[in-house]
Amino acid sequence: MLLAREPDSESNPYAPPRAELVPPDPLDPAEAEQLRLAHLPNEASVRVTGLGCMLAAPLIVFLFYWYTTDEHTVWQVFFAFMVVIAAIPLALGLGLRAFRGWARWGAILFLLLCGCLTGWLASIGELPVILAIMVVPLTAVGVRILAGRSASSVCRKSYRRAVALTPHLRWRAGPDLE
C-alpha cells in the first residue's frame, strides 16, 4: 500500500496557501471606554425602546382579552393565539436590551405594525381614539430611534464586546456625566 506524501508548499506551486488563523484584535479597555462614553445616550434610548416593547406584551394580552369576553369558542381560541403572539414583543424587547441586531429590525417592523394597526382600529371606531393618540406617536419615536445610525452602531458585535469590557459605565441623565 502506497502512502501519499504531503507535498511541501514551497516545492509545489499548486499547493493551497497556508494561513494562520488570527483572532480579531481584542478591544483595548481604554478604547472600549471611549466608545461607550460616546454612545451611552444612544444605548439608553435603545434600552428604553426595548423596555417599551416588553411592556407591549401584557398590553396586547389585555386588549385582546377585553375583546374576547364573549362565550364563543372562536374568540377564546383567538385569545390563546394572541397570548402566543404577545411573546414576540417580549423577545424583541429582551433582544434590544442586549443590543442584538435581529431585535432591532424586528422591533422596527413590530412598531410600524402596531402604529398602523392602532391608527386603523381607532379610525373605524374599534379602539378609543385617546389610545391611538398615545400609541401612534410612541411607535413613531421608537422607529425613529431604532432606524437611526446611532442604534445601528450600538447593535453591533464590537459594541457588545465594549459593553462586556466596561460594565462599570452607566447612563446618568444630567450634565455631570463623567
Q: In tens digits, what is the pLDDT along the chain, a chain of 178 residues?
A: 555 555 555 677 787 777 777 666 667 888 888 988 999 999 999 999 999 999 988 887 777 777 666 565 566 666 677 777 888 999 999 999 999 999 999 999 999 988 898 888 888 887 788 888 888 899 999 999 999 998 999 999 989 999 988 888 888 766 655 5
The residue whose grid cell reads 411592556 is 55
SS3 content of the chain, % helix, strand, coil (to 5): 65, 0, 35
Q: Which runs of consecutive H residues, i.e. helices, occur in 68-128?
A: 73-85, 87-97, 101-123
* pTM of this structure: 0.73
Cα separation, 85 vs 53, in Å, equals 13
Per-residue pLDDT of 5-21, as tens digits, reads 555 556 777 877 777 77
Q: Which of 30, 57, 40, 24 is nearest to 171 (CA)?
A: 40
Cα separation, 5 vs 56, in Å, equals 65
Q: Which of 85, 81, 67, 78 is nearest to 121 (CA)?
A: 67
Enter the C-alpha cell of residue 68. 374576547
Q: Which of 63, 79, 48 is nearest to 142 (CA)?
A: 48
